[in-house]
DNA sequence: GTGGCTGCAAATGTTTTGCATCCGT
DNA sequence: ACGGATGCAAAACATTTGCAGCCAC
């Protein structure tokens, strides 16, 4: 994908993508990506991580997500997902911070009603569910 | 409310709350609050605005919202709203940035299904709808 | 070989903090 | 008058940018 856009495929760019793809369902901050990338490429600079993130965002290879904990996070984009999963959302554990993704376009009917009512033309939505994950429930709330 | 918690009712705290309540449906950044407050209390410091925001957040008098435009914003909390409106969400115009609030608990059934499926115990949700507002549609998309 | 990419350090922007002073109670 | 609250400036973070050297193509 990089090559198609006339961009260079550098070790650093591969390393950032590898970091994001290694853990399933990973939602890393720039700093966390930096830490992971440094293991295999210790000479990498934090600025490069930020610049790589910018490039990958523009190519829509990764997505920026805000879990509302004050940190900006990144995840592999929907490019890598199933056809019809362009709307995936997040379940966030308020205790341990764990994040799961889930699928489902559950708002379409509601969006229609909102359009009629407000005159907005709705294009996209973002849904986050907050609660306790299985592990935290087991340990006791 | 401040007094109940043993906190002082200072001119600055009143000014911040006044700024947030003046414009209906206002979603201001810390900097914007600062600008507005400076008009009536020019001696106020930005640090005080931040400290006041912290206090008001803890008392749940105001809410922090992330509209995913990179800015952290604040609005008067649901304390001031109708009984059953503890879930209000946002319609965001992707063109002009205008924000409207809307009410509605439309996810309850869906949340139940997610709980069964994932084992999460869901406590809260956050929904944002992105699109074009009436005015931007009129002007042409 | 060349232009884009990188590492480093410095700059920027936002939020927090230390401290002496001030003012609501 | 006491202790919390403020203003100012400095510090702490997160992110961006300038620039000389480097390396995919």
Q: Which chain A residues are closer than 8 Å to B102 by Cβ?
A: 114, 118
- Unique residue bearing structure tokens 């008392």: B59
- Unique residue bearing structure tokens 């709980």: B115
Please write the tens of the pLDDT for every residue from B38-66: 999 999 999 999 999 999 999 999 999 99
The three-point CA angle B119-B121-B125 to 5° equals 125
Q: Which helix (H) or strand (E) holds A134?
A: helix A134-138
- The CA–CA distances, whole Å, from A125 to A56, A108, B6, B17, B44 equal 22, 10, 41, 30, 38
Fold of B1-80: Arc Repressor Mutant, subunit A (1.10.10)
Please write the tens of the pLDDT for every residue from A55-91: 999 999 999 999 888 889 999 986 655 555 567 889 9
- Unique residue bearing structure tokens 């293991």: A39
If one counts every other C-beta atom within 10 angstroms of the C-beta of residue B25, the result is 11
Q: State the pTM of this model.
A: 0.88
The pLDDT assigned to B34 comes to 97
Average pLDDT value over all residues in chain A: 88
Over 90: is that where the pLDDT of A28 sits? yes
Range with the largest mean pLDDT of A18-27, A47-56, A116-125, B94-103: A47-56
Query: What class, spelled out in words, does domain A87-141 have in CATH?
Result: alpha beta
How many Å lie between the alpha carbon of B127 and the closest alpha carbon of chain A? Answer: 5
Instruction: Please tell me the distance from the alpha carbon of residue B36 to that of residue B40, in angstroms, as a whole number.
Output: 8
The pLDDT assigned to B68 comes to 83
Instruction: Please tell me the distance from the alpha carbon of residue A119 to that of residue B134, in angstroms, as a whole number.
Output: 5
Residue nearest to nucleotide D15 (CA to C1'): A50
pLDDT band per the 50, 70, 90 thresholds, residue B82: low
Task: Show which positions of strand C are touched by protein (CB under 7 A).
Answer: 4-10, 14-18, 23-25
The pLDDT assigned to B101 comes to 87
Q: Which protein residues have their Cβ less than 7 angstroms from some atom of strand D?
A: A 3, 8-11, 29-31, 46-47, 50-51, 53-54, 72; B 7-8, 10, 12-13, 41, 43-45, 47-48, 51-52, 55
Average pLDDT over residues B25-34: 94
Residue contact B134–A122, C-beta within 8 A? no
Average pLDDT over residues A102-119: 83
Round and report the angstrom distance from CA (B136) to C1' (D1): 59
Q: CB pairs below 8 Å between A and B: how many?
A: 100
DSSP letter string, B21-32: HHSTT--EEHHH
Round and report the angstrom distance from CA (B70) to C1' (C15): 14
Please write the tens of the pLDDT for every residue from A128-140: 999 999 999 998 7
Which tokens is B129 given?
A: 């709808």
- The CA–CA distances, whole Å, from A108 to A67, A87, A118, A123, B129 equal 23, 11, 15, 10, 11
The pLDDT assigned to B52 comes to 98
Instruction: Indicate the domain borders of chain A.
Output: 1-80, 87-141
């Amino acid at each position: 994908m990089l090559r198609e856009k006339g961009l260079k495929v550098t070790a650093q760019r591969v390393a950032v993508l590898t970091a994001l793809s290694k853990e399933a369902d990973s939602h890393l901050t720039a700093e966390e990506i930096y830490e992971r990338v440094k293991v295999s490429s210790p000479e990498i600079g934090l600025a490069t991580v930020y610049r790589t993130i910018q490039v990958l965002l523009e190519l829509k290879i990764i997505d920026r997500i805000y879990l509302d904990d004050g940190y900006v996070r990144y995840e592999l984009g929907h490019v890598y997902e199933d056809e019809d999963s362009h709307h995936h959302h997040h379940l966030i554990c308020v205790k341990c911070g764990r994040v799961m993704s889930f699928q489902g376009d559950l708002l379409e009917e509601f969006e229609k009603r909102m359009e009629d009512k407000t005159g907005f033309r709705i294009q996209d939505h973002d849904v986050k569910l907050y609660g306790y994950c299985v592990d935290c429930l087991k340990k006791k709330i």
